[in-house]
Every structure is written in C-alpha cells, then in structure tokens.
Amino acid sequence: MVETGVGRTRTWYDAVTPRAGVMAQLVSAAALWLVATSILLVRGVLFIERPGPDFHFDPWLVPIAAVALTLGLVKARLILLPYAGRAVARIEGRGRACYFGFFAPRSWLFVAVMMGGGMWLRSTALAHSWWGRVGLATLYLAVGTALALADRVFWAAVARRARPRDVAARG
C-alpha cells in the first residue's frame, strides 16, 4: 500500500497507472465504441461489396443489411444498452481513477476474445465462400449496429457533463 497523504492508501497498481477524470473516461469509452462500430460496419459491407475494378452494387446487401439491422436492434436492446448504462454508472461512480479502468477487467477480456474471434473467423474458409461471407457480413453488421445504438449512451453522458452548470440549473 502507498500512503497518499490524506489518510487514504492506494495499492501499488493505483500508484503506477495513469489517472483520468470522469469526462476523459467517458469520452474514451464513447470513442472506443465508435471506432469499433466503424470497423465492424465497414468490414460487414466489404464482405459483400468487394472494391476493385469490377466493383458494382450487390443487391444482396439490402436483405443482409435488413436482417443485420433487426438482429442489431435486438442485441442493443437486450444486451448493450443495459451494459452501456452500467458502464457509465461505473465511470461516474469511480470519479478520478485509472484511465484504463473505464471498462471493467472482464469487459477488456471480452473485447480481446471478440477481436480474436473475429480474426479467427476471417481466417477460416467462411471468408472465402459466398455463403460464409454472407454470414460474416450479417454478423459484423449486426454487432456494429448494436454498438452504434448503444454508443449513444456514452455520448449522452458526455453531453450531460459538458453542459454548463448554470444552463442545466435553469432547465
């Protein structure tokens, strides 16, 4: 334990990790989800639309996008919106704390597993067959849609904190 001088002690881990305020943590969480959303949506479209000299609009993109949007809405509603609300509450409850703690350790582990799973799926035969590409496109577009919908929870928390206090008091 490390003495802080104000009657509180911190673990050695807290003493050596970068600290950040609530606003920095909220913006970081929102930006991370926005980047992940962008990557997933672009990859989802590119699984169907292959850029190149023979590029053309593939009519399969429309029904795939419709299915993915529906699945994304369901995932956002049932899983990601509640999670984002809990993550915002966690960040606000922690106050000034370890910068990388804007998500819980289990959440970072889940992110790593999802990234590894995505890389593995792209390396399988699925990425090289038409039906596999349709499945991967649907998966990527659905998860990207869900993240985009849930990311607004983080940005709303950022906007609430960014609003001047006197304007908030006047209503």
Indicate whether 27 pLDDT > 60: yes
Average pLDDT over residues 88-100: 91
Give how far Cα 30 sits from Cα of 5, 72, 80, Å: 34, 18, 13
pLDDT at 65: 87
Indicate whether 2 pLDDT > 50: no
Alpha carbons 11 and 15: distance in angstroms, whole number = 6
pTM summary value:
0.81
Kindly state the helix (H) or strand (E) to which residue 3 belongs, with its residue range.
Answer: strand 2-3
115-128 pLDDT tens trace: 999 999 989 988 88
pLDDT at 45: 86
Comparing C-alpha atoms, which of 118, 109, 111 is closest to residue 43? 118
pLDDT at 3: 46
Query: For the chain, which residues make up each domain, given as ranges?
Result: 19-170
Alpha carbons 143 and 146: distance in angstroms, whole number = 5
pLDDT at 9: 60
Q: How confident is the model at residue 1 (pLDDT cuts 50, 70, 90)?
A: very low
126-169 pLDDT tens trace: 888 888 888 999 999 999 999 999 999 999 999 999 887 655 55
The answer for residues whose C-beta is within 8 angstroms of residue 167's C-beta and 6 or more apart is none
pLDDT at 128: 84
Q: Are 118 and 44 in contact (CB under 8 A)?
A: no
Lowest mean pLDDT among 22-31, 61-70, 82-91: 61-70
pLDDT at 167: 54
32-78 pLDDT tens trace: 999 999 999 999 988 877 666 676 677 777 888 899 999 999 999 99
Alpha carbons 85 and 48: distance in angstroms, whole number = 33
Q: Are 129 and 47 in contact (CB under 8 A)?
A: no
